Amino acid sequence: SEYTEITEISFDSARKRMTSINQNVAGELSASSKGAPEVLLPLCTHIYEGDEIKPLTQTDRDAIVEINAGLAENALRVLAFAYRPLDGEIPGWEPEQVEKNLIFVGLIGMIDPPRDEVRDAMRICKMAGIRPIMITGDHKLTARAVAVDVGLIDPEGEVLSGADLDGLTPEEYNDAVIRCNVFARVAPEHKLQIVSALKSHNEVVAMTGDGVNDAPAIKIADVGISMGIRGADVTKEASDVILTDDNFATIVSAVEKGREIYSNIRKFVRFLL
């Protein structure tokens, strides 16, 4: 390969970006970053356009934001890409020293369509008195598009971001958690707070997740559910149920079977009495 990776500044849900430090065959260093557009774009000062590197103007920024919104509205998960040459090694490869004065390269939209059975699962949940809630790190527009697609909310349904939640008083926060069914661009602490707020309203909460940052919320939920295929070990350990097929619809089937068993036990006890 023309480039060799020297080190990496890892992705985490708070930073919403990651950076790879690479060296070419001539020994020159460069930093390549990818992450959420709204996080990466402010770190850029130039843009790579038409085989030229130009100053990034406000007009450019507005156009990029508009393109990002258009992709997100079509249920695409959007990543921004940027890079910059490095004059030499940076002590400790501190992120704030590496991820600055970046050259914006472009956006990419990726589709991760929900499984077909999820739509039926949402409908069955609502009929059974179960309230599905989406908590995601995706852009608000992406979250809305997916939620509408699977029938979780109407096109005019409310979507709140982690930043929206941070601006609420405790009373407003509790009201929002009861009122809203879609939360986007959330941090791990928001997941924990949402589950805690629901439990404070005496709701019985089942929480699903697969990442390490889902583990605290899964642990305090009444029923913690993790993904068996792509779930992190710490998340599986914190959960009560592990889905071997990573399929949300399996949860609905499990609830149906559980209610059938509960009903049969009640009938049996009534017969004995």
Q: Strand, coil or helix: what is 210? A: coil
Q: Strand, coil or helix: what is 204? A: coil
Band the pLDDT of 12: cuts 50, 70, 90: confident
Could you give the C-alpha distances from 10 to 49, 95, 247, in angstroms and in order?
27, 10, 28
Domain boundaries defined on the chain: 3-111, 116-265
- The pLDDT score that the predictor gives to residue 211 is 87
Q: Do domains 3-111 and 116-265 have the same CATH topology?
A: no
Mean pLDDT in residue range 234-242? 93
- The pLDDT score that the predictor gives to residue 66 is 97
- The pLDDT score that the predictor gives to residue 44 is 98
- The pLDDT score that the predictor gives to residue 161 is 95
- The pLDDT score that the predictor gives to residue 79 is 97
- The pLDDT score that the predictor gives to residue 115 is 84
* pTM (predicted TM-score): 0.82
Which CATH topology does 3-111 take? Calcium-transporting ATPase, cytoplasmic domain N (3.40.1110)
Whether residue 248 has pLDDT greater than 90: no
Mean pLDDT in residue range 213-233? 93
CATH number for the domain formed by residue range(s) 116-265? 3.40.50.1000
- The pLDDT score that the predictor gives to residue 273 is 76
Mean pLDDT in residue range 4-18? 91
Mean pLDDT in residue range 99-111? 96
Mean pLDDT in residue range 236-242? 93
- The pLDDT score that the predictor gives to residue 1 is 56
Give percent of the chain with pLDDT exceeding 90: 75
Report the alpha-carbon angle 71-76-81, nearest 5: 75
Q: What is the mean pLDDT of the chain?
A: 93
For 41-82, the DSSP string reads: GGGEEEEEETTEEEE--HHHHHHHHHHHHHHHHTTEEEEEEE
Band the pLDDT of 92: cuts 50, 70, 90: confident
In whole angstroms, give the CA distance from residue 52 to residue 48. 6
Instruction: Please name which of 154, 143, 135, 155 lies closest in space to residue 76, comparing C-alpha atoms.
Output: 143
19-41 pLDDT, tens digit each: 999 999 989 999 999 999 999 99
Q: How many residues does the chain have?
A: 273
In whole angstroms, give the CA distance from residue 243 to residue 231. 9
